[in-house]
Structure 1
């Protein structure tokens, strides 16, 4: 399925963002990401950060390089963004300071960016189009 030049640029930018974010999970931002893991999650928080970081690196690289499968990668990235949203909600509800989000307003505003990421993943990969278009 063909995408426009703007969609391709947006897909590559999102892929780079995800790759960087995933690498930062595993290195210099590990503590910040640990603060976002919901307390109710039945998995070790550090393992959650490592696994989600690995998934982000994989998805980021797939968005950039797996062009033949970009539609499915976009759908998978959108699902991933939905699955990690509880971490953002937990940060807001539990008033956890991380990533410079140290006020309720800052944490609340961040919640509205998750749907943008979901739509970005779907739009930039043409995942919202029917197969025959």
Structure 2
């Protein structure tokens, strides 16, 4: 739920900034920028707080690889964030196709895999540093995962709308 608050807040800031600078920012782009910034933050946090926040979330089955998996998921989150945040002009200048869709799908798959850690925390009654909200919070987290998956796919443009206008940021 804290990720949902961060994601929503960052998306609203992106949308408001577009309005402030008199540049109409489509909702999809505001959601993409919000998700990119949110994953950039959490990805970096995997490296800064990995041992205290993320390693304890890992199931016992993965404890031998917990630290490496935390760093891997942090790196993948940063890669996905960069894929969402890069302007299309950068992709074009580098001669690359638009990788936003791949970034969104990659983040969606990562979110599906990471739900294992969220379920583990709820079932084992573990505690996550910095998230001192009680057991109800840990039990609610897995139920928000589909929201994040759909958000990632929509924001990355995997879900097409009937609009003829392409994202241009």
**TM-score, normalized by length of structure 2?**
0.69
1:126 aligns with 2:157: yes
| Deviation (angstroms), 1:101 | 4.4
Alignment of 1:1-133 (within 5 A): 5-41=26-62, 43-65=64-86, 67=88, 68-98=98-128, 99-101=130-132, 103-129=134-160
Structure 2: runs of 5 or more not aligned: 1-24, 89-97, 165-169
The CA RMSD measured in Å over matched residues stands at 2.0
Q: Tell me how many residue pairs correspond in the alignment.
A: 128
Shift of the alpha carbon at 1:129?
A: 3.0
> Which structure has the higher relative contact order (CA within 8 Å, separation 6+)?
1
Gaps spanning 5+ residues in structure 1: where?
none
User: Which has more radius of gyration?
Assistant: 2
Report SS of the residue matched to 2:37: helix
- Contact 2:32 2:84 survives alignment (8 Å): yes
Secondary structure of 1:100's match? coil
